[in-house]
């Protein structure tokens, strides 16, 4: 199943509007529990200490055997502020692909549409995946190849600007990824983050990026990896920095755990998590990941969230057959 790119005149949800989608849930109480529960200190695995294949280390955390084949049941929520984010998704019988990109806002100062390059990347990536699916070759695709071809297309098109990007695929039980910059993803199992992508930035608030004019970073900087054994019931959360700059991993864990227990659909979950990130982004006194990093980089204590576009994809990993 393919879902088209959203337009800039899309979802302008506030927390109040999100609550209309989930009338049986007290959204205000849900958000309060997520944001004000004491943060834990544990850290998830990352490429730094797990290597390119964390599947074997994570599998022991869940009893039972993995199914032969899994699929993504996914949905997205976009809360645009500047209109610089883009995303795509393609879930099909053989393999699924999802991706997000975040245009570099500095181009606005030069009169450039800062979201154009991100949109071109994701539109081109979706076109590559759809073409492979039509030719029944989608299982041969790898996220790095899709990202490389999408980048080449954007450069050929002469699309101005620069962007971070992340693309992930699921084939049978294997999750694979390729990314550059600070758009990120987390794999949750049993309500806990078991794998988290690594931030790529030259300095605070200056992420690695691909650009059309050759002034960005090289494709050689793209981080590539995978997990061989995803499990039925895992949850994959992918987002731009508007999400991860405003939500600590522990808050994401609580939101996903509570939402799963309440029977949220992927759309409900993406809406709620995006709404929580939006609330933090507008809170001048929040202890956000962004304010923590800002304080460390500048040497003085600051507070508040980061006002930015927020794009999130939530994918439930579910079994599509039995072994």
Q: Residue 26: its pLDDT value, please? A: 63
**Is the Cβ–Cβ distance between 43 and 124 less than 8 Å?**
no
What is the C-alpha separation between 292 and 238, in angstroms, rounded?
21
For the segment 52-95, what is each residue's pLDDT rounded down to a tens digit? 444 333 333 343 455 678 999 999 999 999 999 999 999 876 78
Tokens coding 172 = 């049978």
Which band of pLDDT confidence, cut at 50, 70 and 90, is reported for residue 24? low
Q: What is the mean pLDDT of the chain?
A: 84
pLDDT digits (tens, 9 = 90+) for 100-134: 999 998 888 888 899 999 999 999 999 999 999 99
Residue pair 319/73 in contact by the 8 Å Cβ criterion: no
Q: At what angle do helices 27-36 and 266-281 cross, to 10 degrees?
A: 60
CA 242 to chain centre: 10
> Does residue 38 register a pLDDT over 70?
no
Polymer length in residues for the chain:
323
Q: Is 214 helix (H, G, I), strand (E, B) or coil?
A: coil
Are the C-beta atoms of residues 226 and 52 closer than 8 Å to each other? yes
Region 139-154 average pLDDT: 96
The pair of structure tokens assigned to 92 is: 């099909």
Q: What is the DSSP letter of 139?
A: G
Residue-wise pLDDT tens digits, 199-224: 999 999 899 999 988 788 999 999 99
Structure tokens at 272: 């709620």
Q: Percentage of the chain surpassing pLDDT 70?
A: 80
What pLDDT does 100 receive? 98
Residue 253: both structure tokens together? 């864990």
The predicted pLDDT at position 321 comes to 67
pLDDT at 160: 94
Please give the pLDDT value at position 212.
86
Please report the pLDDT score of residue 34 as a whole number: 80
Token pair of 175 as six digits: 């999750």
pLDDT band at 245 (very low <50, low <70, confident <90, very high): very high
Stretch 297-316: mean pLDDT: 95
**What pLDDT, on the 0 to 100 scale, is given for residue 126?**
97
pLDDT at 4 over 90: no
In terms of phi and psi (left: phi > 0; alpha: psi -120 to 50; beta: otherwise), the region of 104 is beta
pLDDT at 186 over 90: yes
For 184-193, what is the mean pLDDT? 97
- Alpha carbon distances (Å) from 9 to 5, 78, 269: 12, 10, 21
Does position 258 have pLDDT exceeding 80, yes or no? yes
pLDDT computed for residue 36 by the predictor = 76
Higher pLDDT, 291 or 321: 291
Per-residue pLDDT at 213 = 84
Q: What is the dihedral of CA 57, 61, 62, 63, to 10 degrees?
A: 100
> Counting beta carbons within 10 angstroms of the beta carbon of residue 20, is it exposed (0 to 12), middle (13 to 18) or buried (19 or more)?
exposed
Nearest residue to 165 (alpha-carbon basis) of 152, 137, 173: 152
Q: Which two tokens stand for residue 247?
A: 């939500």
Q: Count other Cβ atoms within 10 Å, centred on residue 206.
A: 12
**According to DSSP H, which parts of the chain are helical?**
15-21, 27-36, 47-50, 55-59, 116-134, 143-157, 241-244, 249-261, 266-281, 289-298
| Residue range 229-249: mean pLDDT, rounded | 97
pLDDT score of 68: 73
Output the DSSP codes for 60-116.
TTS-SPPPS-EEEEEEEEEE-SSS-EEEEEEE-SS-EEEEEEEE-GGGGGGT--TTH
Query: What pLDDT does residue 214 have?
Result: 77
What is the distance between the alpha carbons of residues 32 and 48, in angstroms, rounded to a whole number? Answer: 33
């Amino acid at each position: 199943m393919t879902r088209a790119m959203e337009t800039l005149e899309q979802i302008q949800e506030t927390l109040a509007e999100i609550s209309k989608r989930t009338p049986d849930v007290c959204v205000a109480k849900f958000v309060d529990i997520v944001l004000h529960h004491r943060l834990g200190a544990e850290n998830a695995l990352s490429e730094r200490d797990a290597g390119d294949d964390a599947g074997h280390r994570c599998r022991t955390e869940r009893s039972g055997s993995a199914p032969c084949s899994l699929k993504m049941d996914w949905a997205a929520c976009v809360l645009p502020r500047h209109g610089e984010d883009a995303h795509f998704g393609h879930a099909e019988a053989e393999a699924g692909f999802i991706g997000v990109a975040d245009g570099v806002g500095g181009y606005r100062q030069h009169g450039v549409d800062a979201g154009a390059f991100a949109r071109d990347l994701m539109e081109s990536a979706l076109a590559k995946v759809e073409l492979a699916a039509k030719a029944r070759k989608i299982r041969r695709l790898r996220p790095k190849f899709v990202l490389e071809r999408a980048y080449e297309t954007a450069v050929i098109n002469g699309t101005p600007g620069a962007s971070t990007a992340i693309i992930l695929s699921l084939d049978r039980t294997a999750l694979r990824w390729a990314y550059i910059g600070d758009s990120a993803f987390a794999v949750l199992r049993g309500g806990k983050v078991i794998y988290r992508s690594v931030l790529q930035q030259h300095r605070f608030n200056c992420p690695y990026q691909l650009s059309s004019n050759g002034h960005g970073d090289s494709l050689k900087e793209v981080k590539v990896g995978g997990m061989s054994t995803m499990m039925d019931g895992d949850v994959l959360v992918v987002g731009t920095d508007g999400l991860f700059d405003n939500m600590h991993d522990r808050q994401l864990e609580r939101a996903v755990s509570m939402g799963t227990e309440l029977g949220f659909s992927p759309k409900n979950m993406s809406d709620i998590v995006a709404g929580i990130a939006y609330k933090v982004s507008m809170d001048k006194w929040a202890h956000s990941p962004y304010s923590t990093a800002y304080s460390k980089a500048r040497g003085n204590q600051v507070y508040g969230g980061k006002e930015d576009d927020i794009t999130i994809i939530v994918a439930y990993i579910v079994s599509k057959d039995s072994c």
